[in-house]
Amino acid sequence: MKRMLSLRDQRLKEKDRLKPKKKEKKDLSALKEREVPQHPSCLFSQYNTQLGPPYHILVDTNFSIKAKLDLVQSMMDCLYAKCIPCITDCVMAETEKLGQKYQVALRIAKDPRFEQLPCTHKGTYADDCLVQRVTQHKCYIVATVDRDLRRIWKSPGVPIMYISNHRYNIERMPDDYGAPRF
């Protein structure tokens, strides 16, 4: 049988002589606090009550490039209501950086029917700008063909407009506003 050293043995170092501290038992009766993201009051009925005609549609850089359709008319055909396309300063700057090859997209973005939205943040990355604006204000529809912009799915109540079969489609739009069903 092996013998065990006592804690007072001279061969032990000073740090080993100390007795290990007993773990404190957690009080299970105490309430646990956790942070839950607060959803805006406009999403009370599981759909966004701030959406309504005339629709404000945030247009991404890729959306104006990929679409060979008239942007405003096709949006109105999709939603059966007046649509106001909105372009942020970041999207405009990103379109200008693309150069001569995308001159038509830049001319579309400078159309007087489009509403120019000023940006107050630093940097010109359009995806972050769109996500930030949509999370702050729930009154926009986002028009994009970018798969990386799926971060918008994390913010509830934001419809996404996309292109399929040479038509504009919209998803996550409340049925009460007459969104077309396909």
Retrieve residue 79's tokens: 């939603």
The answer to whether position 125 is within a domain reads yes
The answer to whether position 49 is within a domain reads no
The answer to whether position 71 is within a domain reads yes
The answer to whether position 169 is within a domain reads yes
> Number of C-alpha atoms within 13 angstroms, CB side, residue 103?
2
The answer to whether position 101 is within a domain reads yes
pLDDT in the model for residue 33: 66
CATH for 170 = 3.40.50.1010
Residue 163 and residue 157 in contact, taking contact as beta carbons nearer than 8 Å: no
By DSSP bridging, strand 140-143 and strand 115-117 are unpaired
Question: 76: how many CB neighbours lie within 10 A of its CB?
Answer: 16
Residue 143 and residue 159 in contact, taking contact as beta carbons nearer than 8 Å: no
Task: Please give the residue range of the domain that contains residue 95.
Answer: 56-174
Is-above-0.85 flag for pTM?
Answer: no
The answer to whether position 131 is within a domain reads yes
- Say how many domains are in the chain: 1
pLDDT in the model for residue 178: 47
The answer to whether position 135 is within a domain reads yes
pLDDT in the model for residue 6: 76
Mean pLDDT for back-to-back runs of 10 residues, the chain (182 residues): 75 68 64 66 63 88 77 89 92 88 85 90 83 86 84 77 86 58 50
pLDDT in the model for residue 23: 66
CA angle, residues 36, 175, 147, in degrees to nearest 5: 60
The answer to whether position 28 is within a domain reads no
Distance between CA atoms of residues 179 and 2, nearest Å: 81
